[in-house]
Amino acid sequence: MNERQVSRRGLMIGAAATAAWAASPVRAMLAEAGGRALPAKVEALVAQMTVAEKAGQLTLMAATWAGGAATALNPAAGTSTFETQLGEVRAGSLGGVFNGNGATMARRMQGVAMREARLKIPLLFAADIIHGFRTVFPVPLAEAGSFDPELARRTARAAGAEAAASGIDWTFAPMVDIARDQRWGRGVEGAGEDVLLGRMMADARVRGFQGERGLAAPDAVASCAKHFAAYGAGEAGLDYNSVDISERTLRDVYFPPFQAALAAGAPTVMASFNEISGVPATANPWLLTQVLRREWGFGGLVVSDYTGDEELIAHGFAADAREATKLAFMAGVDMSMQSAFYRLHLPDLVANGEVPMARLDEAVRRVLALKVALGLFDDPFRRIDPRREKTRVRTKATLALAREAGAKSIVMLRNEGEILPLPRAGKRIALIGPFAQGKHDLIGPWNVYGTDAEAIDLATGVREAVADAGSVTVADGSGIDAPIAGGIDAAVAAARAADVVVLAIGESQAMSGEAQSRTDIVVPAAQMALAEAVIAVGKPVVVLLSTGRGLALSGGVLTAPAVLVTWFLGSEAGRSIADVLFGIVGPSARLPVSFPHATGQEPYHYGHKSTGRPNGPGPLAPYKAHYREYANDAAFPFGHGLTYGRIGYAGLDLGGGRLSAGSTLTVSATVTNSGTRAADEVVQLYVQDVTASITRPVRELKAFRRVTLKPGESRVVSFPIRRTDLLFVGGDLKPTVEPGRFRLWIAPSAQAEGVAGEFMLA
């Protein structure tokens, strides 16, 4: 049996996280503000640097190699050329570049830095390695659905090693923003709506990127916890929008994944674009200095987001570039990305005494300390190896991992009549929909180096899996947003001629990601028309949903006998989907975000508060908290996901039902697979603090455990609960725990009853 438990205790919060950071070797390298832990030769460099050279170290720009392809995933900025950028390296006015293209570029730039610049300080090469490099893994949201942090660690490790082989030192990942509004497009980059899952994925991804041999290892990349903070809480789910939020919610919900990332050793943090209650994060001393450095003891590097300092002007917070520079820098942003504001304005600000030299030195030391930690002062070319770049990418092993991760990220929402898995022989299959075939929408929205062209599409995966590839017919039926002439007729004809229809519909990858908020989180109308027409044929239909967010499903798609959420699964997408469709691998993932009934419920998350007038289970009652149209619950809640087994929960054991100081309460339930196929069940423990001095959510995930159950197998699954599992941010904004009554559920989702009971905390 494969059984792993993950819970809050596996991670550290608050003081414990700070202690972990303090003890980490990265911290030792990065040193305290103004610290003396830099090697003597690097310290000597600081003494020699001019103010302009110092400001240069604090400047990070998009690589201009190959005509500036690096800016493709960001707004166009500047007209610099590669030659100009080499000139900046020579002059010492550049600390590093990001999203460049490979070892050839890196070697040229590093060569100039090491041979032609006065102080010969190595450049830092950064990139957005969000879910893979050349081998592309499932989008992070999908992978969070695996509820398998070890899987996330393994894919991050593989991505880090591939990126490092191409000269990359530093990834702008993991994105650890909690996302509770599915209108927001960037939820796709993170771990979804839940704090515990968010913390666990943050921890796993940092450890994966950085590896186990220290940051100087040639296959390690430094990670960057982003976007600090509350970027996912923008009003109305609009990307970049203002955040008006209580300090308690920041501390209770949005901060913990950052603390987990830092405890795991992340040496850098990226400030977010948004304002927080009137003060942009990029110029927020409370956030970047008081909380991050003083409270949490973070000694690493804070980088702005892309032109984040420049945007202080548009926010209405800084009058001009000079003031924006001063505000961001003095608030705690050490390095400026893409605006070039720091190298343009810091020298003058220092000369005029508006920015102390000590603050400049502190920031420079942090950049240099990162370069030291990455081993760049020992060997600036340690990650730049054109041969490794070719041989260490898209290997058999990484592609197999992509296929595994893809299959483990697929969530089965429905399987009425157990029409899945499909038999591999003897059925004519109509593969219908805009995602049925073609090299598009496979890898997801946030990938700089992978391509759809190198990925496996659904038709290929299905044809490989079936005994007779000729039994598969494919019809697009519709475009993603618009109908295609004759598309529905051809699709209906294909459905009529088939025994089973696989309907691949949903969002394109361009519909999620940065700046891709939606007002209506639905399957586009043209595809709904196709779906209804095909479903009306009356054949068994399996719906596959491409998406980068939780969707509000409707009509025949909502009630189709089988529905699988297939997200954007990466390099091996088509094979991963076929593995689950045909039962080569059983579905085992769970929703990392709730799928609401309707967009109007957003921001919806399972861990909401009760209100004074909860509707409770059952029909909608007058004067209760619900909408006219729907109960305020989810159509498919967080944690939901079916398997090919038939899983039942029974036999709750509350272990005496009393938790006293210093002890552990062990609760358990018996989970049984009465089906005919083995299943990986993610057993979840939820708790509600019934009465507290600060109201608590109706349910909070406290732990989960993945158990593999053979047909007919029963297992007792137990969870230890300690006082520290019940901490929350109290009236004084400090972690607290209060005695009293707690409800608990051991259940297959945040909304399922599973088995439920109560215990007392003494």
The DSSP bridge partners found for residue 649 are 671
Nearest Cα residue to 303 out of 257, 276, 268: 268
Instruction: Find all residues with CB under 8 Å of 483, minimum gap 6, and list them.
Output: 526, 529, 530
Nearest Cα residue to 523 out of 501, 508, 502, 541: 508
Q: Which of residues 314-373 bind ligand NOJ (CB under 6 A)?
A: none
Q: Which of residues 542-561 bind ligand NOJ (CB under 6 A)?
A: none
Q: Which residue has tokens 């987990």?
A: 260
- The residue number with the shortest CB distance to ligand NOJ is 172
CA torsion, ordered 101, 102, 104, 110, to nearest 10 deg: 90
Question: Is residue 172 near ligand NOJ by the rule CB under 6 A?
Answer: yes
Rounded CA-CA distance 181/266 in Å is: 26
Rounded CA-CA distance 45/50 in Å is: 10
Question: Is residue 170 near ligand NOJ by the rule CB under 6 A?
Answer: no
Nearer to ligand NOJ, 185 or 748 (CB): 185
| Residue 732 designated active-site | no
Helices (H) and strands (E) in the chain, counts: 24, 29
Asked if 447 contacts 72 with a C-beta cutoff of 8 angstroms, the reply is no
Catalytic residue among 305, 385, 476, 680: 305
Q: Which of residues 493-522 bind ligand NOJ (CB under 6 A)?
A: 514
Q: Report the nearest approach of ligand NOJ to the CB of residue 71 (Å).
A: 8
Axis-axis angle for helices 195-210, 256-263 (nearest 10): 30
Nearer to ligand NOJ, 194 or 305 (CB): 305
Q: Which of residues 125-154 bind ligand NOJ (CB under 6 A)?
A: 128
Q: Report the nearest approach of ligand NOJ to the CB of residue 382 (Å).
A: 23
Question: Is residue 306 near ligand NOJ by the rule CB under 6 A?
Answer: yes
Q: What is the CA radius of gyration of the chain?
A: 26
Asked if 742 contacts 698 with a C-beta cutoff of 8 angstroms, the reply is no
Nearer to ligand NOJ, 128 or 181 (CB): 128
Nearest Cα residue to 682 out of 653, 647, 650: 647
Q: Report the nearest approach of ligand NOJ to the CB of residue 47 (Å).
A: 32
Q: Report the nearest approach of ligand NOJ to the CB of residue 73 (Å).
A: 6
Question: Is residue 377 near ligand NOJ by the rule CB under 6 A?
Answer: no
Rounded CA-CA distance 49/589 in Å is: 53
Nearest Cα residue to 546 out of 445, 423, 474: 445
| The token pair that represents 303 in the structure block | 């980088």
Rounded CA-CA distance 677/465 in Å is: 19
Rounded CA-CA distance 736/248 in Å is: 12
Nearer to ligand NOJ, 224 or 430 (CB): 224
Q: Report the nearest approach of ligand NOJ to the CB of residue 97 (Å).
A: 11
Question: Is residue 305 near ligand NOJ by the rule CB under 6 A?
Answer: yes
| The token pair that represents 107 in the structure block | 């070697």
Instruction: Find all residues with CB under 8 Å of 10, minimum gap 6, and list them.
Output: 200, 203
Q: Report the nearest approach of ligand NOJ to the CB of residue 446 (Å).
A: 8
Number of residues that bind ligand NOJ (CB under 6 A): 9
Nearer to ligand NOJ, 250 or 271 (CB): 271
Tell me the three state secondary structure of residue 59. Answer: strand
Nearer to ligand NOJ, 73 or 652 (CB): 73
Q: Is 480 left (phi over 0), alpha (psi -120 to 50) or beta?
A: alpha
Nearer to ligand NOJ, 252 or 305 (CB): 305
Tell me the three state secondary structure of residue 337. Answer: strand
Q: Report the nearest approach of ligand NOJ to the CB of residue 227 (Å).
A: 6
Kindly write out the interface string for residues 218-237 of this chain, putting x where it contacts ligand NOJ by CB under 6 A and - elsewhere: --------x-----------
Tell me the three state secondary structure of residue 236. Answer: helix
DSSP strand E in 56-146: where?
59-62, 96-98, 124-127
**Binds ligand NOJ by CB under 6 A, chosen from 51, 73, 279, 584:** 73
The DSSP bridge partners found for residue 757 are 744
Question: Is residue 74 near ligand NOJ by the rule CB under 6 A?
Answer: yes
Q: Report the nearest approach of ligand NOJ to the CB of residue 232 (Å).
A: 12
Rounded CA-CA distance 229/290 in Å is: 14
Nearer to ligand NOJ, 228 or 377 (CB): 228
Nearer to ligand NOJ, 171 or 594 (CB): 171
Q: Report the nearest approach of ligand NOJ to the CB of residue 361 (Å).
A: 26
Q: Report the nearest approach of ligand NOJ to the CB of residue 175 (Å).
A: 6
Question: Is residue 626 near ligand NOJ by the rule CB under 6 A?
Answer: no
Which helix (H) or strand (E) segment holds residue 359: the answer is helix 357-373
Kindly write out the interface string for residues 89-128 of this chain, putting x where it contacts ligand NOJ by CB under 6 A and - elsewhere: ----------x----------------------------x
Nearer to ligand NOJ, 370 or 474 (CB): 370
Rounded CA-CA distance 335/340 in Å is: 10
Give me the active site residues, please: 305
Instruction: Name the site residues for ligand NOJ (rule: CB under 6 A).
Output: 73-74, 99, 128, 172, 226, 305-306, 514
